Copies of this chain bind each other. A is one copy, B any other.
Amino acid sequence: MIIVMKPRTKQEEIERIRVRLSQLGCEVRDIKGLNYHIFGLIGNTNLVDPDRLLANEGVEKVIHVQEPYKIANRLFQPEDTIVDIEGQKIGGENFAVIAGPCSVESEEQITGIAQAVKAAGAGLLRGGAFKPRTSPYSFQGLGEDGLDLLKIAKEKTGLPIVSELMSVEHLPRFCQDVDIIQIGARNMQNYELLKAVGQIRKPVILKRGLSSTIEELLLAAEYILAQGNDQVILCERGIRTFEHFTRNTLDLSAIPVIKKLSHLPVIVDPSHAGGIWWLVEPLAKAALVVGADGVMIEVHNDPVNAKCDGQQSLKPDKFASLMDSLKDLAQIQGKKI
Protein backbone atom coordinates (compact mmCIF):
# COMPACT_ATOMS: atom_id res chain seq x y z
CA MET A 1 0.00 0.00 0.00
CA ILE A 2 1.31 3.44 -0.98
CA ILE A 3 0.41 6.53 1.05
CA VAL A 4 1.06 9.89 -0.61
CA MET A 5 1.23 12.90 1.69
CA LYS A 6 0.00 16.32 0.57
CA PRO A 7 2.67 18.69 -0.76
CA ARG A 8 4.01 21.06 1.91
CA THR A 9 2.82 18.92 4.80
CA LYS A 10 4.73 19.81 7.93
CA GLN A 11 7.43 17.43 9.07
CA GLU A 12 5.67 16.80 12.39
CA GLU A 13 2.49 15.66 10.61
CA ILE A 14 4.58 13.33 8.46
CA GLU A 15 6.11 11.88 11.60
CA ARG A 16 2.68 11.52 13.20
CA ILE A 17 1.46 9.50 10.22
CA ARG A 18 4.62 7.39 10.25
CA VAL A 19 3.91 6.46 13.85
CA ARG A 20 0.29 5.59 13.02
CA LEU A 21 1.39 3.42 10.12
CA SER A 22 3.98 1.56 12.15
CA GLN A 23 1.29 0.74 14.72
CA LEU A 24 -0.65 -1.13 12.02
CA GLY A 25 1.80 -3.99 12.11
CA CYS A 26 3.38 -3.28 8.76
CA GLU A 27 6.86 -2.19 7.82
CA VAL A 28 7.07 1.42 6.68
CA ARG A 29 9.39 2.68 3.94
CA ASP A 30 9.92 6.29 2.87
CA ILE A 31 10.30 7.88 -0.55
CA LYS A 32 10.90 11.60 -0.37
CA GLY A 33 10.29 13.38 -3.67
CA LEU A 34 10.46 17.04 -4.64
CA ASN A 35 6.91 17.87 -3.68
CA TYR A 36 5.59 14.69 -2.18
CA HIS A 37 6.50 12.49 0.75
CA ILE A 38 5.46 8.91 0.11
CA PHE A 39 5.16 5.94 2.45
CA GLY A 40 5.25 2.34 1.30
CA LEU A 41 3.60 -0.20 3.61
CA ILE A 42 4.95 -3.73 3.49
CA GLY A 43 3.38 -6.82 4.98
CA ASN A 44 -0.22 -7.78 5.57
CA THR A 45 -2.14 -4.63 4.65
CA ASN A 46 -5.52 -6.38 4.76
CA LEU A 47 -6.33 -4.81 8.08
CA VAL A 48 -5.36 -1.32 7.02
CA ASP A 49 -8.43 0.78 6.29
CA PRO A 50 -7.63 3.32 3.56
CA ASP A 51 -10.64 5.47 4.52
CA ARG A 52 -9.20 5.96 7.96
CA LEU A 53 -5.85 7.04 6.54
CA LEU A 54 -7.58 9.42 4.11
CA ALA A 55 -9.36 11.04 7.03
CA ASN A 56 -6.00 12.53 8.05
CA GLU A 57 -5.74 15.98 6.51
CA GLY A 58 -2.11 15.49 5.52
CA VAL A 59 -2.84 12.39 3.45
CA GLU A 60 -3.47 13.05 -0.26
CA LYS A 61 -3.98 9.56 -1.66
CA VAL A 62 -3.87 5.94 -0.65
CA ILE A 63 -3.02 3.56 -3.46
CA HIS A 64 -3.61 -0.17 -3.33
CA VAL A 65 -0.97 -2.29 -4.90
CA GLN A 66 -2.46 -5.65 -3.99
CA GLU A 67 -5.98 -6.47 -5.22
CA PRO A 68 -8.51 -6.37 -2.36
CA TYR A 69 -9.93 -9.83 -3.15
CA LYS A 70 -8.00 -12.88 -2.02
CA ILE A 71 -9.82 -16.17 -2.64
CA ALA A 72 -10.97 -15.08 -6.10
CA ASN A 73 -7.46 -13.93 -7.01
CA ARG A 74 -5.58 -15.95 -9.62
CA LEU A 75 -2.35 -14.88 -7.95
CA PHE A 76 -3.08 -17.32 -5.14
CA GLN A 77 -4.78 -20.02 -7.26
CA PRO A 78 -3.26 -20.15 -10.75
CA GLU A 79 -5.35 -23.06 -12.07
CA ASP A 80 -8.91 -22.56 -13.39
CA THR A 81 -11.85 -23.38 -11.14
CA ILE A 82 -14.13 -25.87 -12.91
CA VAL A 83 -17.69 -26.21 -11.64
CA ASP A 84 -19.37 -29.56 -12.26
CA ILE A 85 -23.17 -29.74 -12.27
CA GLU A 86 -24.27 -33.33 -12.75
CA GLY A 87 -21.57 -33.81 -15.34
CA GLN A 88 -22.04 -30.44 -17.08
CA LYS A 89 -18.76 -28.59 -16.60
CA ILE A 90 -18.28 -24.85 -16.54
CA GLY A 91 -14.70 -23.55 -16.69
CA GLY A 92 -11.46 -24.87 -18.13
CA GLU A 93 -11.80 -26.10 -21.71
CA ASN A 94 -15.57 -26.33 -21.63
CA PHE A 95 -18.06 -23.97 -23.23
CA ALA A 96 -21.39 -24.26 -21.45
CA VAL A 97 -24.68 -23.29 -23.03
CA ILE A 98 -27.52 -22.44 -20.69
CA ALA A 99 -30.80 -21.75 -22.45
CA GLY A 100 -34.45 -21.27 -21.69
CA PRO A 101 -37.19 -18.71 -21.25
CA CYS A 102 -37.00 -15.51 -19.25
CA SER A 103 -39.84 -16.77 -17.10
CA VAL A 104 -41.60 -20.07 -16.59
CA GLU A 105 -45.20 -19.68 -17.72
CA SER A 106 -46.75 -23.16 -17.93
CA GLU A 107 -45.81 -26.82 -17.92
CA GLU A 108 -46.28 -27.05 -21.64
CA GLN A 109 -44.16 -23.98 -22.29
CA ILE A 110 -41.21 -24.93 -20.09
CA THR A 111 -41.05 -28.60 -21.04
CA GLY A 112 -41.44 -27.75 -24.71
CA ILE A 113 -38.60 -25.22 -24.61
CA ALA A 114 -36.46 -27.57 -22.48
CA GLN A 115 -36.84 -30.33 -25.04
CA ALA A 116 -36.05 -27.96 -27.90
CA VAL A 117 -32.90 -26.51 -26.35
CA LYS A 118 -31.72 -29.95 -25.31
CA ALA A 119 -32.19 -31.22 -28.84
CA ALA A 120 -30.14 -28.29 -30.13
CA GLY A 121 -27.33 -29.09 -27.72
CA ALA A 122 -27.82 -26.89 -24.64
CA GLY A 123 -26.45 -28.39 -21.43
CA LEU A 124 -28.51 -26.56 -18.83
CA LEU A 125 -31.99 -25.06 -18.60
CA ARG A 126 -32.67 -21.56 -17.36
CA GLY A 127 -36.10 -20.34 -16.31
CA GLY A 128 -37.26 -17.58 -14.00
CA ALA A 129 -39.74 -18.30 -11.23
CA PHE A 130 -39.16 -15.10 -9.26
CA LYS A 131 -38.64 -12.14 -11.59
CA PRO A 132 -37.03 -8.80 -10.69
CA ARG A 133 -39.02 -6.25 -12.69
CA THR A 134 -38.44 -2.50 -12.85
CA SER A 135 -42.14 -1.80 -12.45
CA PRO A 136 -44.31 -3.23 -9.68
CA TYR A 137 -47.06 -3.53 -12.27
CA SER A 138 -45.15 -6.00 -14.48
CA PHE A 139 -45.52 -9.78 -14.26
CA GLN A 140 -43.48 -10.91 -11.24
CA GLY A 141 -43.14 -14.61 -12.08
CA LEU A 142 -45.03 -17.73 -10.98
CA GLY A 143 -43.01 -18.01 -7.77
CA GLU A 144 -42.91 -21.46 -6.15
CA ASP A 145 -45.22 -22.86 -8.81
CA GLY A 146 -42.56 -21.94 -11.34
CA LEU A 147 -40.04 -24.05 -9.44
CA ASP A 148 -42.47 -27.00 -9.57
CA LEU A 149 -42.70 -26.68 -13.32
CA LEU A 150 -38.91 -26.43 -13.72
CA LYS A 151 -38.67 -29.71 -11.76
CA ILE A 152 -41.00 -31.38 -14.21
CA ALA A 153 -38.95 -30.05 -17.13
CA LYS A 154 -35.82 -31.47 -15.56
CA GLU A 155 -37.46 -34.85 -15.07
CA LYS A 156 -38.40 -34.95 -18.74
CA THR A 157 -35.05 -33.76 -20.15
CA GLY A 158 -32.40 -34.35 -17.54
CA LEU A 159 -31.20 -30.76 -17.93
CA PRO A 160 -29.96 -29.20 -14.68
CA ILE A 161 -31.87 -26.09 -13.64
CA VAL A 162 -30.65 -22.48 -13.30
CA SER A 163 -33.03 -20.05 -11.62
CA GLU A 164 -32.76 -16.66 -9.94
CA LEU A 165 -33.00 -16.28 -6.17
CA MET A 166 -34.22 -12.89 -4.94
CA SER A 167 -34.69 -13.46 -1.24
CA VAL A 168 -33.02 -15.39 1.57
CA GLU A 169 -36.46 -16.65 2.55
CA HIS A 170 -36.66 -18.85 -0.56
CA LEU A 171 -33.21 -20.34 -0.18
CA PRO A 172 -34.24 -23.69 1.36
CA ARG A 173 -36.59 -24.37 -1.53
CA PHE A 174 -33.91 -23.40 -4.09
CA CYS A 175 -31.41 -25.71 -2.39
CA GLN A 176 -33.78 -28.57 -2.94
CA ASP A 177 -34.94 -27.99 -6.50
CA VAL A 178 -32.47 -25.75 -8.32
CA ASP A 179 -29.04 -26.84 -9.54
CA ILE A 180 -27.41 -23.45 -10.01
CA ILE A 181 -28.64 -20.46 -8.07
CA GLN A 182 -28.49 -17.22 -9.99
CA ILE A 183 -27.93 -13.87 -8.26
CA GLY A 184 -29.17 -11.15 -10.58
CA ALA A 185 -27.39 -7.94 -11.55
CA ARG A 186 -29.60 -5.84 -9.30
CA ASN A 187 -28.67 -7.99 -6.30
CA MET A 188 -24.93 -8.14 -6.98
CA GLN A 189 -24.35 -6.01 -3.90
CA ASN A 190 -27.19 -7.42 -1.81
CA TYR A 191 -24.68 -8.61 0.75
CA GLU A 192 -27.13 -10.48 2.96
CA LEU A 193 -28.10 -12.60 -0.02
CA LEU A 194 -24.46 -13.14 -0.98
CA LYS A 195 -23.58 -14.30 2.52
CA ALA A 196 -26.55 -16.65 2.52
CA VAL A 197 -25.58 -18.36 -0.73
CA GLY A 198 -22.02 -18.48 0.54
CA GLN A 199 -23.15 -20.82 3.29
CA ILE A 200 -24.67 -23.43 0.99
CA ARG A 201 -22.80 -25.87 -1.22
CA LYS A 202 -24.47 -25.29 -4.59
CA PRO A 203 -22.99 -23.50 -7.59
CA VAL A 204 -23.91 -19.83 -7.85
CA ILE A 205 -24.03 -17.67 -11.00
CA LEU A 206 -23.25 -14.10 -9.97
CA LYS A 207 -24.21 -11.45 -12.51
CA ARG A 208 -22.27 -8.22 -12.78
CA GLY A 209 -24.22 -5.18 -11.61
CA LEU A 210 -25.22 -2.57 -14.18
CA SER A 211 -22.66 -0.10 -12.95
CA SER A 212 -20.20 -2.38 -11.25
CA THR A 213 -16.50 -2.46 -12.00
CA ILE A 214 -14.75 -5.76 -12.54
CA GLU A 215 -13.10 -5.31 -9.16
CA GLU A 216 -16.47 -4.91 -7.45
CA LEU A 217 -17.76 -8.03 -9.18
CA LEU A 218 -14.78 -9.96 -7.83
CA LEU A 219 -15.35 -8.51 -4.37
CA ALA A 220 -19.00 -9.58 -4.52
CA ALA A 221 -17.78 -13.08 -5.45
CA GLU A 222 -15.40 -12.85 -2.51
CA TYR A 223 -18.43 -12.42 -0.19
CA ILE A 224 -19.66 -15.84 -1.32
CA LEU A 225 -16.23 -17.48 -1.36
CA ALA A 226 -15.35 -16.17 2.07
CA GLN A 227 -18.32 -18.09 3.51
CA GLY A 228 -16.92 -21.31 2.12
CA ASN A 229 -18.81 -21.82 -1.14
CA ASP A 230 -16.15 -22.09 -3.84
CA GLN A 231 -18.48 -22.80 -6.78
CA VAL A 232 -18.96 -19.32 -8.11
CA ILE A 233 -19.53 -18.59 -11.81
CA LEU A 234 -19.33 -14.95 -12.87
CA CYS A 235 -21.58 -13.53 -15.58
CA GLU A 236 -21.09 -10.44 -17.76
CA ARG A 237 -24.48 -9.14 -18.91
CA GLY A 238 -23.87 -5.60 -20.06
CA ILE A 239 -23.21 -2.38 -18.23
CA ARG A 240 -25.04 0.89 -18.35
CA THR A 241 -23.67 3.62 -20.58
CA PHE A 242 -25.06 6.63 -22.43
CA GLU A 243 -25.79 4.50 -25.52
CA HIS A 244 -29.49 3.75 -25.63
CA PHE A 245 -30.05 1.85 -28.84
CA THR A 246 -29.07 -1.28 -26.95
CA ARG A 247 -30.49 -2.07 -23.51
CA ASN A 248 -26.97 -2.16 -22.06
CA THR A 249 -23.43 -2.19 -23.45
CA LEU A 250 -21.93 -5.68 -23.36
CA ASP A 251 -18.39 -5.36 -22.01
CA LEU A 252 -16.65 -8.23 -23.77
CA SER A 253 -13.19 -7.01 -22.81
CA ALA A 254 -14.18 -7.87 -19.25
CA ILE A 255 -13.87 -11.57 -20.14
CA PRO A 256 -10.12 -11.74 -20.83
CA VAL A 257 -9.56 -9.29 -17.96
CA ILE A 258 -11.45 -11.49 -15.50
CA LYS A 259 -9.62 -14.59 -16.77
CA LYS A 260 -6.36 -12.79 -16.02
CA LEU A 261 -7.34 -11.60 -12.55
CA SER A 262 -9.27 -14.62 -11.34
CA HIS A 263 -9.52 -18.38 -11.68
CA LEU A 264 -13.33 -18.33 -11.55
CA PRO A 265 -15.30 -19.27 -14.67
CA VAL A 266 -17.07 -16.42 -16.43
CA ILE A 267 -20.02 -16.65 -18.82
CA VAL A 268 -21.89 -14.08 -20.93
CA ASP A 269 -25.59 -13.24 -21.18
CA PRO A 270 -26.02 -11.70 -24.64
CA SER A 271 -29.82 -11.58 -24.37
CA HIS A 272 -30.03 -9.04 -21.57
CA ALA A 273 -27.00 -7.13 -22.76
CA GLY A 274 -28.33 -6.19 -26.16
CA GLY A 275 -32.03 -6.47 -25.43
CA ILE A 276 -32.86 -7.36 -29.04
CA TRP A 277 -33.10 -10.86 -30.48
CA TRP A 278 -31.02 -10.18 -33.60
CA LEU A 279 -28.05 -9.13 -31.46
CA VAL A 280 -27.94 -12.45 -29.60
CA GLU A 281 -26.20 -14.48 -32.28
CA PRO A 282 -23.29 -12.13 -33.04
CA LEU A 283 -22.72 -11.39 -29.35
CA ALA A 284 -22.83 -15.07 -28.34
CA LYS A 285 -20.25 -15.90 -31.00
CA ALA A 286 -18.08 -13.00 -29.88
CA ALA A 287 -18.35 -14.24 -26.30
CA LEU A 288 -16.95 -17.60 -27.36
CA VAL A 289 -13.95 -16.28 -29.27
CA VAL A 290 -13.14 -13.73 -26.59
CA GLY A 291 -12.66 -16.59 -24.16
CA ALA A 292 -15.88 -16.91 -22.15
CA ASP A 293 -16.67 -20.22 -20.45
CA GLY A 294 -20.24 -20.22 -21.68
CA VAL A 295 -23.34 -18.28 -22.57
CA MET A 296 -26.81 -17.95 -21.12
CA ILE A 297 -29.45 -17.42 -23.77
CA GLU A 298 -33.13 -16.64 -23.68
CA VAL A 299 -35.18 -18.98 -25.85
CA HIS A 300 -38.95 -18.90 -26.20
CA ASN A 301 -41.27 -20.91 -28.41
CA ASP A 302 -43.65 -17.97 -28.83
CA PRO A 303 -41.82 -14.68 -28.18
CA VAL A 304 -44.73 -12.44 -29.08
CA ASN A 305 -46.73 -14.00 -26.29
CA ALA A 306 -43.88 -14.32 -23.79
CA LYS A 307 -44.69 -12.85 -20.40
CA CYS A 308 -41.36 -11.04 -20.35
CA ASP A 309 -38.39 -10.21 -22.55
CA GLY A 310 -40.02 -11.56 -25.70
CA GLN A 311 -38.16 -9.04 -27.83
CA GLN A 312 -34.79 -10.49 -26.83
CA SER A 313 -35.71 -14.20 -27.01
CA LEU A 314 -34.67 -16.51 -29.81
CA LYS A 315 -37.11 -18.98 -31.30
CA PRO A 316 -35.95 -22.62 -31.05
CA ASP A 317 -34.94 -22.81 -34.71
CA LYS A 318 -32.78 -19.70 -34.47
CA PHE A 319 -31.26 -21.09 -31.29
CA ALA A 320 -30.44 -24.34 -33.09
CA SER A 321 -28.70 -22.46 -35.86
CA LEU A 322 -26.76 -20.43 -33.28
CA MET A 323 -25.65 -23.71 -31.66
CA ASP A 324 -24.27 -24.83 -35.01
CA SER A 325 -22.21 -21.65 -35.33
CA LEU A 326 -20.97 -21.96 -31.78
CA LYS A 327 -19.87 -25.56 -32.37
CA ASP A 328 -17.84 -24.51 -35.43
CA LEU A 329 -16.16 -21.72 -33.50
CA ALA A 330 -15.56 -23.92 -30.44
CA GLN A 331 -13.60 -26.34 -32.60
CA ILE A 332 -11.28 -23.57 -33.80
CA GLN A 333 -10.89 -22.24 -30.29
CA GLY A 334 -10.19 -25.65 -28.81
CA LYS A 335 -13.24 -25.56 -26.56
CA LYS A 336 -15.61 -28.45 -25.78
CA ILE A 337 -19.26 -27.61 -26.24
Contact = CB atoms under 8 A, between A and B. Distances in A.
Interface residues of A, number: 105
Contacts of A35: 66, 75
B63 A2 contact: yes
Contact of A242 (B69, B75, B240): B240
A305 interface: yes
Nearest to A169: B168
A290 interface: yes
A252 interface: yes
A155 interface: no
A211 B63 CA distance: 24
A310 B54 contact: yes
Interface string A187-204: 101111000000000000
A324 to B, nearest CB: 11
Contact of A311 (B55, B260, B308): B55
Given A167-B168, A290-B286, A55 B313 contact: yes
A34 B45 CA distance: 10
A25 interface: no
A92 interface: no
B219 A136 contact: yes
Interface of A: 2, 4, 7, 29, 31-36, 38, 40, 42-44, 46, 49, 51-52, 54-56, 61, 63, 65-66, 68-70, 75, 132-139, 166-169, 186-187, 189-192, 209-211, 213-216, 219, 222-223, 226, 239-246, 249-257, 260, 273-274, 277-279, 282-283, 285-291, 303-311, 313, 325, 328-329, 332
A192 B169 CA distance: 10
B279 A285 contact: no
A46 B35 CA distance: 13
A208 B262 CA distance: 31
Contact of A332 (B250, B253, B329): B329
